[in-house]
Chain A
Amino acid sequence: MTYTPSEMMTVAAARALGNRDVCFVGIGLPSAACNLARLSHAPQITLIYESGTLETRPEVLPLSIGDGELCETALTTVSVPEVFRYWLQGGRISIGFLGGAQVDRFGNLNSTVIGPYSRPKVRLPGSGGASEIGTSCGQIFIVMPQNPRTFVETIDFVTTLGHGRTGRERRALGIPTKGPVLIVTDLCTMRPDPETNEFLVASLNPGVTRDEVRRNTGWEIRFAEGMEETTTPSAMELEILRDLQARTARAHGSAAAKEKVERN
Chain B
Amino acid sequence: MPCALFRGYRGTDLPRVNPRIRFIACPFTGEELACIPALRPDVAIIHAQKADRAGNVLLDGIIGVQKEAVLAARRAIATVEEIVDELSPGHANAVILPGWTLSAVAAVPGGAHPSYAHGYYSRDNSFYMEWDEISRDRDRFLAWMGENVLARAPEDFAARVRLP
Interface string of A227-264 (1 = CB under 8 A from B): 00000000000000000000000011110110010000
Whole-angstrom distance between the Cβ of B111 and the nearest chain A Cβ: 16
Query: Is there contact, CB below 8 Å, between B14 and A131?
Result: yes
Stretch at the interface among B74-82, B117-125, B138-146, B150-158: B117-125
Contacts of B128 in A (CB 8 A): 63
Residue B164 interfacial (CB < 8 Å): no
Q: Which of A81, A161, A257 contacts B10 (CB 8 A)?
A: A161
Query: Is there contact, CB below 8 Å, between A175 and B11?
Result: yes
Query: Is there contact, CB below 8 Å, between B9 and A131?
Result: yes
Residue A174 interfacial (CB < 8 Å): yes
Given A127-B14, A135-B7, A169-B11: A79 touches B61 (CB 8 Å cut-off)? no
Query: Is there contact, CB below 8 Å, between B125 and A63?
Result: yes
Contacts of A89 in B (CB 8 A): 6-7
Residue A46 interfacial (CB < 8 Å): no
Given A68-B118, A68-B122: A77 touches B8 (CB 8 Å cut-off)? no
Residue B3 interfacial (CB < 8 Å): no
Interface residues of chain B, those whose CB is within 8 Å of chain A, are 6-14, 17, 31-32, 61-65, 67-68, 115-116, 118, 122-123, 125-126, 128-129
Query: Is there contact, CB below 8 Å, between B125 and A81?
Result: no
Whole-angstrom distance between the Cβ of B102 and the nearest chain A Cβ: 18
Contacts of B7 in A (CB 8 A): 89, 132, 135-136, 175
Q: Pick from B13, B63, B115 the residue with the most CB of A within 10 Å.
A: B13
What are 6 inter-chain pairs, A to B, with CB distance below 8 A?
A67-B123, A77-B61, A134-B8, A252-B125, A254-B129, A257-B129
- Consensus secondary structure, chain B interface: loop
Whole-angstrom distance between the Cβ of B13 and the nearest chain A Cβ: 5
Query: Is there contact, CB below 8 Å, between B62 and A52?
Result: yes
Whole-angstrom distance between the Cβ of B129 and the nearest chain A Cβ: 5
Given A89-B6, A132-B8, A136-B7: A70 touches B62 (CB 8 Å cut-off)? yes
Stretch at the interface among A1-9, A152-160, A185-193, A215-223: A152-160
Residue A71 interfacial (CB < 8 Å): yes
Query: Is there contact, CB below 8 Å, between B62 and A173?
Result: no
Contacts of A134 in B (CB 8 A): 8
A81 CA / B17 CA spacing, docked (Å): 24
Residue A148 interfacial (CB < 8 Å): no
Query: Is there contact, CB below 8 Å, between A174 and B129?
Result: no
Contacts of B67 in A (CB 8 A): 79
Q: Beyond A68-B116, A175-B10: 12 further Cβ-contacts under 8 Å?
A: A52-B63, A53-B62, A66-B64, A77-B61, A79-B65, A79-B67, A79-B68, A131-B9, A135-B7, A135-B8, A254-B125, A257-B125
- 3 closest Cβ contacts across the A-B interface? A132-B8, A161-B11, A131-B8
CB closest chain-B residue, reference A135: B8
CB closest chain-A residue, reference B63: A79
Whole-angstrom distance between the Cβ of A253 and the nearest chain B Cβ: 5
Residue A75 interfacial (CB < 8 Å): no
Query: Is there contact, CB below 8 Å, between A159 and B122?
Result: no
Contacts of B6 in A (CB 8 A): 84, 89, 132
Residue A178 interfacial (CB < 8 Å): no
Whole-angstrom distance between the Cβ of B93 and the nearest chain A Cβ: 11
Contacts of B10 in A (CB 8 A): 135, 161, 173, 175
CB closest chain-A residue, reference B64: A80
A52 CA / B64 CA spacing, docked (Å): 7
Contacts of A161 in B (CB 8 A): 10-12
Given A67-B123, A68-B122, A79-B63: A174 touches B11 (CB 8 Å cut-off)? no
Query: Is there contact, CB below 8 Å, between A157 and B13?
Result: yes
CB closest chain-B residue, reference A165: B11
Q: Which of B9, B31, B62 contacts A77 (CB 8 A)?
A: B62
